[in-house]
Amino acid sequence: MRVHIATDHAGLELSDYLVKHLTAKGFEMVNHGPKSYDPEDDYPAFCINAAKAVVADQRAGVDALGIVLGGSGNGEQIAANKVEGIRAALAWNLDTAKLAREHNNANVIAVGGRQHSVEEAAELIEAFLAEPFSEAERHVRRIGKIAAYETTGEVID
């Protein structure tokens, strides 16, 4: 599986760890930055570029997911979710990480680097990457309604 990762300065240490850790586990890691620590950097471009790469890969039939990191993960999740086709979920425990995939077929996980130890964050992300989408009809239906709004602006009851 290809995994696109992006962060800001607050998640850089975690991002560097995850690139090495997940590469060793067999994932193809694509780092969208930043490459070095800058306390004044802005996460939107990094996260949007990672999200765009996830969508492009998935549309091309590549098995791909994404990771966006920051201090809390909130802004990074918001930035990623601005990309059409992205369902980014903020995970703060194992249940939210797994349910993001199982129920919502999330294709990007957001994690706060200042909210977890490196080991805890890695555990959340590995759980997310391993969890399959349930394919349950109710979840497919709900995701379809979100996608319809995203592409047409129509709200479906």
- Residue in 4, 13, 21, 76 annotated catalytic: 76
Q: Does the annotation flag 71 for ligand binding?
A: yes
Is 81 domain-assigned?
Answer: yes
Q: What's the domain count of the chain?
A: 1
Q: Does the annotation flag 139 for ligand binding?
A: no
* pLDDT averaged per 10 residues, the chain (length 157): 96 97 98 91 96 98 98 97 98 98 98 97 98 98 96 95
Is 42 domain-assigned?
Answer: yes
Q: Does the annotation flag 61 for ligand binding?
A: no
How many CB atoms within 10 Å of residue 115?
15
pLDDT at residue 48 in the model: 98
Surface-to-core class of residue 128, CB atoms within 10 Å of its CB (0-12 exposed, 13-18 middle, 19+ buried): buried
Tell me if residue 103 is catalytic. Answer: yes
Is 70 domain-assigned?
Answer: yes
Is 157 domain-assigned?
Answer: no
pLDDT at residue 135 in the model: 97
Tell me if residue 76 is catalytic. Answer: yes
For the chain, the residue count is 157
Q: Does the annotation flag 72 for ligand binding?
A: yes
Helix (H, G, I), strand (E, B) or coil at 39: coil
What's the CATH code of the domain at 124?
3.40.1400.10
pLDDT at residue 121 in the model: 98
Is 67 domain-assigned?
Answer: yes
Helix (H, G, I), strand (E, B) or coil at 9: helix
- Residue in 103, 123, 131, 150 annotated catalytic: 103
Is 41 domain-assigned?
Answer: yes
Q: Does the annotation flag 142 for ligand binding?
A: yes
Which residue range(s) make up the domain with 103?
2-152
Is 7 domain-assigned?
Answer: yes
Measure CA 109 to chain center. Answer: 3
Is 109 domain-assigned?
Answer: yes
pTM given for the model: 0.96
